[in-house]
Amino acid sequence: MKSYILAIAGVILLSAVVTMIAPSGKMGKFLKGATKLVILVVMISPVISLVKSGKPDFSAPSAVGLDTGYLKACSARLERADEEEIAAYLAEEFSVGCEVQVSRSDSAPFPREKITVILDGEGINGEDGHKHIVTCIKEAVEARYGVQTEVS
């Protein structure tokens, strides 16, 4: 239906332009008549197709699907950027080496779902010190990024 209305509007616009620039003699009359004929053909084309097929076709165009591959690629790209950012933040703030894994949803706006931090263990002395730093990192990352965080 939309394309039909756009076709009519386009032909009417073309007709208006032809009417304005056409000469006033016989050629101008011929061009104006030809544009009126084109408008008529465009306007009755649905009726012609209805007569040929015997039934109206009011079916909606095929549904447009999501481009899941593109959405997953966007999500993965944001995950990698987050992982680098969080690792740099933890190295600066807590002076620890770590591996960070971020999972994001595959649907826009790609919210973070979970952050996992795996500490290298270098520079952490004793079991109590390790437990304390794990708790501090967990609280800091959750406060900064607002997502459930797992630290090990």
Residue 28 tokens, joined: 């101008």
Quote the CA–CA distance of 111 and 123 in Å, as a whole number.
Answer: 33
pTM above 0.75, yes or no: no
Identify the CATH number of the domain defined by range 68-151: 3.30.300.30
The pLDDT tens digits of the residues spanning 97-129 come to 888 999 998 887 888 889 998 888 654 555 555
Contacts of 7 by beta carbon, 8 Å cutoff, 6+ apart: 42
Quote the CA–CA distance of 152 and 114 in Å, as a whole number.
Answer: 14
Quote the CA–CA distance of 66 and 50 in Å, as a whole number.
Answer: 33
Quote the CA–CA distance of 107 and 2 in Å, as a whole number.
Answer: 29
